[in-house]
Structure 1
Amino acid sequence: MKTTIYDVAKQAGVSIATVSKVISGKGKISKKRREQILKIMEELNYQPSMIASALVGKKTYTIGLLIPDISNPFFAEIARAIEDQAHQSGYSIIICSTDNKDERVERYISLLEQKSVDGIIIGTGVENIEILRRLETRSIPFVMISRESTALAVDTVVSDDYIGGILAAQHLAELGHRRFAILSENLKVSSSRERIRGFKQGLSDMNIPFDDKNIVICDYRVEEGRRCAYELLQYTEKPTAIFCCNDLLAIGAIQAAKQLGIKVPDALSIVGFDDTILASVTDPPLTTIAQPIDRMGKQAFNLLIDNLMNSESVKQRIVLRPELIIRQSTQHAKR
């Protein structure tokens, strides 16, 4: 038979209200008595009902996390950083993969509401701004990570994608490259737009022209990077350098070059973005723009907790600076 709060109260010789205060962390209870009750809860294997707590307006200590795809190493690492921070604070995370589709975002938000989560961290593209407006209307705290909304004042944590694009352009230009191409995710994703804008600005600052016809839009997967790079590398005036808006596309580009017998970096330099675990183990190891993934996850979680503690707090936009990590997928252009 499942242990109830009544069993815990009886065993501890206290009222149900006292046990409830221990669970919620509120009320004036001595440290000794609190520890005694917690020990009895452990001995009886008592698990407080999160849903029951929600029905009486208490926290459930659960948070929803919406990301495009848990199999994408960048978002897997973001999820782990958030989960680690949540664990230290006594929270659990419900992770939902949306494929950047609004209908899935709406369905998962509805599910998370039913689960009575305390708040939501959104790391997925949301095209329909009304989805976010409805969260505000329902007073569900949320924070965006690696994504932005220009239409709403929202707590946000991002890497400076624009600066990241500039760093990639400067590195390749300083290596003597002049024929460039870009592999990017859907331009509806704010991070991709900013990375491209930064890359073009970096070249412009060095008086190097760039033709927008060399921007190729793909899905974010390795196979898409491979397919698009394969086409690019068969141009008569093929690029000597490709900037990829994430590491998965960059790995796909390396694979396409190998299929065509083009050596990386001897005949083609490739720069990725994110610096996930894959960047250091691919062949050759990938030069990439490193996002501070761990810090981003922790900052997003802490912003959400601040929001839960004070719903009137001023919305913040935290921008963390990325850095260029040079490995073996780039070298000086051959004359």
Structure 2
Amino acid sequence: MANLSPTIYDVAKEAGVSIATVSRVLNFPHRVNPTTRTAVINAIENLGYEPKAESRARALMGTRRIGILIPFFTEPSFVQRLRGIASVLNKKDYEMVIYPVDSKARSLSYLETLPMRRMLDGLIIVSQVYEPAISKRLLDYKLETVLIEFYDPNFTSLVINDEWGGELATKYLLEKGYQRIAFVGGQKQPEFGVDPISKRLAGYLKVIHQAGLSFPDEYINEYAFSPEQVLKKIIPFGLPLSIFAATDLQAIAFMKEARIMGLRIPQDIAIIGFDNIDMAEYFGLTTVHQPLDESGRIAASLLISRLTNPKQSNQHIELPLKIIQRETA
């Protein structure tokens, strides 16, 4: 008698759970506790179970889906990345399926289950950090993947050199003659995903040390929720003052607070940001430009290229950074 393909009932029995739980793992993995989810995933892989493979194939026939795993997708920098991705996928008649990430647990649940669900032709992972086991799962299930802001030698990736960006911003302020240069990072430390702030701070510190400068501890604020409190700490050390804000949103928040305090920009306080989001031009913000839209377009184009020719070599691309000089510094 021929061997029958494993069923969802076999998976449930192997994992010691109900078939409803198996279904939740496959369709809503973030709603299942990690221990149970892992047991179900192991059972699926041990048995070689493919979830409704034939019906899924029929349902997907003639459709093309690319998944985008992305955090903070309403923030300007991530909106611009999505805009770049969409501009390519739309022209190529691919459907873009967004998987928003709001926690490390949700990111892991998607990364564990998306490959085995076989609902996607490809996946773009934006600003997510993962362990080697996830890399192996993506490879085992042959889900073509491109990474933005994270390096994995197994996949095509696009990154920037955040430390060099920090150096670039700090050198610019020094070359403009500023001798007091403070650093302000993000508004809060992220609980998951890629955190570029520490690398941008490292670039700032490197240039300051090379220049033989020494600043009070109050000048370095890796995370700062209140621009008002930071300004009140550093202004007593003297004006004029310059600030390297590690994100444009933080730079704009400091511009607003400085003006509330009656300070002139850039005469009293010069400010440089990082990202060059769309609104930076509106505010006249001098900033470090990173290719946000371009990174999305390049990632989508490279993924489609790999879907056409999976045997091509992975590419690891470092995108360029440059200063955009406007009115604030």
In structure 2, the CA distance between the partners of 1:59 and 1:317, relative to structure 1 (3 Å rule), is farther
- Quick check: 1:83–1:93 contact (8 Å CA) kept in 2? yes
Residues of 1 paired with 2:151 and 2:220: CA distance?
Answer: 24
Contact 1:216–1:228, Cα closer than 8 Å, also in 2: no
Question: What is the CA–CA distance in structure 1 between the aligned matches of 2:301 and 2:219, rounded to whole Å?
Answer: 40
2:107 counterpart letter in structure 1: V
Q: Structure 2: how far apart are the matches of 1:196 and 1:55?
A: 51
Q: Is residue 2:226 matched to residue 1:228?
A: yes
Give the superposition deviation at 1:265.
1.7
Q: C-alpha separation between the residues in 1 aligned to 2:250 and 2:140?
A: 38
Residue 119 (str. 1) matches residue 119 (str. 2): no
User: 2:262 aligned with 1:261, yes or no?
Assistant: yes
Which residue is 2:237 aligned to? 237
- Distance in 2 (alpha carbons) for counterparts of 1:301 and 1:83: 8
TM-score of the aligned structures, taking structure 2 as reference length: 0.71
- Superposition deviation, residue 316 in structure 1: 1.7
SS at match of 1:233: helix
1:83 correspondence with 2:86 = yes
Partner Cα distance (1:275, 1:75) in 2: 12
Distance 1:202 1:71, change over 3 A: same
- Opposite residue 278 of structure 1, the aligned amino acid is M
Q: Secondary structure at the match of 1:324?
A: strand
Any unmatched runs of 5+ in structure 2?
A: 1-53
2:179 corresponds to = 178
Structure 2 residue 198 is the aligned partner of structure 1 residue 196: no
* % identical aligned pairs: 29
Shift of residue 110, structure 1, vs aligned partner: 6.0
Aligned counterpart, 1:72: 75
Contact preservation (8 Å) 1:183, 1:228? no
Whole-angstrom distance in 2 between the partners of 1:213 and 1:143 = 40
- Contact 1:154–1:316 (CA<8 Å) still a contact in 2? yes
In structure 2, the partner of 1:96 is: 99
Q: Are residue 138 (structure 1) and residue 137 (structure 2) matched?
A: no
Contact kept, 8 Å, 1:271 with 1:329, in 2: the verdict is: yes
Query: 1:67–1:124: 8 Å Cα contact kept in structure 2?
Result: yes
Match of residue 281 from structure 1: 282
For 1:4, the equivalent position in structure 2 comes to none
Kindly indicate whether the alpha-carbon contact (under 8 Å) linking 2:70 and 2:98 is maintained by their aligned counterparts in 1: yes
How far residue 68 of structure 1 moved from its aligned partner, in angstroms, is: 1.6
- What SS does the corresponding residue of 2:172 show, helix, strand or coil? helix
Give 1:298's aligned residue: 297
Classify 1:281/1:138 alpha carbon distance in 2 versus 1 (closer, same or farther; 3 Å): same
Seen in structure 2, the aligned counterparts of structure 1 residues 58 and 247 have a Cα distance that, compared at 3 Å, is: same
* AA partner of residue 227 (structure 2): A
Superposed CA RMSD: 3.0
Task: Name the SS of the counterpart of 1:83 in structure 2.
Answer: helix
- Which residue type is aligned with residue 259 of structure 1? I
Give the Å deviation of 1:157. Answer: 1.0
In 2, distance between residues paired with 1:139 and 1:301?
17
Q: Partners of 1:245 and 1:127 in 2: how far apart?
A: 24
The residue matched to 2:119 in structure 1 has which SS? coil
Amino acid corresponding to residue 268 of structure 2 in structure 1: A
**Residues 180-208 of structure 1, C-alpha deviations (whole Å, 9 max, x = no match):** 22222448735333322323333344333
Distance 2:63 2:112 in 1: 16
- CA displacement, residues 219-242 of structure 1 (integer Å, 9 cap, x when unaligned): xxxxxx6x3322221114268122
From the superposition, tell whether residues 97 and 322 of structure 1 become closer, same or farther in structure 2 (CA, over 3 Å).
same
Deviation at 1:271, TM superposition (A): 0.9
Name the SS for the 2:87 alignment partner: helix
Structure 2: which amino acid aligns with 1:237?
F
Q: TM-score, length-normalised on structure 1?
A: 0.70
Count of aligned positions? 269
1:141-182 deviation line (CA, Å, top 9, x unaligned) = 21111x1236x5431112333332222111111222222222
- Aligned to 1:167, the other structure's residue is in SS state helix
Q: After TM superposition, give the deviation of residue 89 of structure 1 in Å.
A: 1.5
- Distance (Å, rounded) in 2 between the aligned partners of 1:207 and 1:140: 50
Q: 1:211 to 1:115 in 2, by over 3 A?
A: farther
SS in structure 2 of the partner of residue 183 of structure 1: strand
| Matched residue, 1:5 | none
Alpha carbons 2:81, 2:294 under 8 Å: kept: no
Instruction: Report the Cα distance in structure 1 between the residues aligned to 2:313 and 2:254, rounded to whole angstroms.
Output: 43
> Do 1:60 and 1:117's aligned partners in 2 also have CA atoms closer than 8 Å?
no
CA displacement at 1:213 relative to structure 2: 6.0
Within the candidate set 217, 220, 224, 1:215 is matched to: 220
Where do 1:30-69 residues align within 5 Å? 54=57, 60-69=63-72
Q: Residues of 2 paired with 1:329 and 1:194: CA distance?
A: 23
CA–CA distance in 1 between the matches of 2:231 and 2:304?
48
Classify the secondary structure of the residue corresponding to 1:234: helix
Pair 1:129–1:228, CA change in 2 (3 A):
farther
Pairwise CA distance, 1:127: 5.4
Match of 1:105 among 98, 102, 107: 107
In the superposition, relative to structure 1, how do residues 211 and 104 fare at CA in structure 2: closer, same or farther (>3 Å)? farther
